[in-house]
Structure 1
Amino acid sequence: MQRSAPRLTRILACAAVPVMLVVAGCSSDSGDSGSGKTGSKDKAGASASATPSPSQTTKKVEPAKFAELPQACKSIAAKTTESLVPKAKTKNGTPAVSSDLASRGGCSWNGLADKGVKGSQYRWLDVSFYRYESDAALGSGQERAQENLAKELAKVQGTQGAKKLRTTTATGIGDEAKTVTYQLRKTDEDFVYGAVVARTGNVLVLLSYNGAGYAGAPTPSEKTIVDGAVKAAKEAVAAVAAANK
């Protein structure tokens, strides 16, 4: 009876402890006749549970390549914007509103060049920058930029009312780039669009250039618009690297 009383006390104490603690502290008794293998299994189980699973360890991601964005309105040379947008309302460009210039920025130029009896030529140029940080949960900055390039490209390709839409791979613009050309009827005139969606490291560069002829002026050719868009896009991409030297 002297041995059974303490043993009973221990059993009752274990019954009041949560199940997970029972396994660790109350699975055996010195008065039992077992071989002790149960205790070994418990130790092995505890050791296995202590080893972190892949999902519990911190995922290492590639560091973001670029930490800075260029000043959007200075990312394209003045002589380029002057040639693409003659008679721009704001020569130095109109900056886009941004609450975080380290992550996003943009600028636009537009103007109407009056050619008298030959009509007028309207042009619009805009550029946007988006920078992505590396994040263990979301992926590297480069991967995030790649994902968003596909999304932005789809948006351009889905432009409502677009006609003669064509997408091609652009070479010599960052790490990867696509050019989208299309026509759009606005204000009773035919506009020709050239859009470039490009990625350089962890930065996405979106550039759009379009134009139309008014008062009898001819509609600009697709080549004129695309060549202008590509030239401006190359300068904008180069500005990203220059801002991070």
Structure 2
Amino acid sequence: MQRSAPRLTRILACAAVPVMLVVAGCSSDSGDSGKPKAQEKTGASASATPSPSQTTKAVEPAKFAKLPQVCQSVSAKTTEVLVPKAKTKNGTPAVSSDLASRGGCSWNGLDDKGVKGSQYRWLDVSFYRYESDATLGSGQERAGQNLAKEVAKVEGTAGAKNLRTSVAAGIGDEAKAVTYQENKTGVNFVYTSIVARTGNVLVLLSYNGAGYSGAPTPTEKAITDGAVKAAKEAVASVAAANK
């Protein structure tokens, strides 16, 4: 009985300390291998941790490195047809702090036909270029994601009537066309917006028109056909600028 007293004393002492300490310091009779539990877990997790080379995802390089001169992305011949009597024949460039990543240009004018009324037209084109990024994805993927966002913005135009979205075939890698009408100060405007992606570049084009002083409202087909023609030229100018 005296021989077992030290063992009993030790058991009582262990019972008086916190549970976490019992595991670490009071298990000499449990038959452990002698290696601390914490070290065993650390070794297992370390061996399962992937190396930096395993976790880094390779992304596809951006297809296009630069943007075209935006006011020259649509030919002068086309802008003269789409926007007769444009205030600025060569277009008005949009202000941009980074022309390598974004730019825009617009044309607008009123073709006065006297007693037959007047026809107003407005054309706008913008470019956005996306770089490839290890965390955000390739430039092509980023442009595709933003295409959906830009289409949603157009679809959310306040006051839009008879809005319809369709696939615009034959324009870049993918494109959507949004057509609608909007009444401004008693005049009915017809709009067609095209959002197209070519590689890592997003092209946003809007074309609209209205008839004043008794002139007829332009047809949706005329406006859409004009927008499609200009969008194809704008998309083609991206590849031409990167040759």
AA partner of residue 241 (structure 2): A
Q: How does 1:132-171 map to 2 (within 5 A)?
A: 132-171=130-169
Q: What's 1:38 paired with?
A: 35
The Cα of 1:41 is off from its aligned counterpart by 9.2
Q: What's 1:21 paired with?
A: none
Task: Render the CA deviation track for 1:28-59: whole Å, top value 9, x for unaligned.
Answer: xxxxxx88562799478437416543888222
Q: 1:67 aligns with which of 54, 65, 73?
A: 65
AA partner of residue 114 (structure 2): G
Distance 1:50 1:61 in 2: 27
Distance 2:87 2:224 in 1: 22
Q: 2:106 aligns with which of 105, 108, 117?
A: 108
SS in 1 for 2:217: coil
The Cα of 1:61 is off from its aligned counterpart by 1.1
SS in 2 for 1:129: strand
The Cα of 1:187 is off from its aligned counterpart by 2.6
Q: 1:191 to 1:142 in 2, by over 3 A?
A: same
SS in 1 for 2:120: strand
SS in 2 for 1:38: coil
**Structure 2 residue 50 is matched with structure 1 residue 53:** yes
AA partner of residue 111 (structure 2): A
**Structure 2 residue 215 is matched with structure 1 residue 227:** no
Task: Render the CA deviation track for 1:189-240: whole Å, top value 9, x for unaligned.
Answer: 1000011011111111000000000111100000100000000000000011
Task: Render the CA deviation track for 1:81-115: whole Å, top value 9, x for unaligned.
Answer: 00000000000000001000011000000000011
Distance 2:109 2:67 in 1: 26
Distance 1:136 1:93 in 2: 37
Query: Could you state the TM-score of these two structures normalised by the residue count of structure 2?
Result: 0.82
Distance 1:51 1:61 in 2: 25
SS in 1 for 2:96: coil
AA partner of residue 71 (structure 2): C
Stretch of structure 1 that moved more, 57-66 or 183-192: 57-66
Q: Which runs of 5+ in 2 are unaligned?
A: 1-24, 26-30
SS in 2 for 1:160: coil
Query: Could you state the TM-score of these two structures normalised by the residue count of structure 1?
Result: 0.82
AA partner of residue 73 (structure 1): C
Q: What's 1:203 paired with?
A: 201
Q: Which runs of 5+ in 1 are unaligned?
A: 1-26, 28-33
Distance 2:80 2:46 in 1: 67
Distance 2:136 2:32 in 1: 51
Task: Render the CA deviation track for 1:15-39: whole Å, top value 9, x for unaligned.
Answer: xxxxxxxxxxxx9xxxxxx885627
Question: What's the C-alpha RMSD, in Å, of the aligned pairs?
Answer: 2.6
Identity of aligned residues (%): 75
Distance 1:229 1:44 in 2: 64
Task: Render the CA deviation track for 1:118-175: whole Å, top value 9, x for unaligned.
Answer: 0100000000000111111111111111111011000101110000111111111001
Distance 1:133 1:157 in 2: 27
Distance 1:67 1:241 in 2: 10
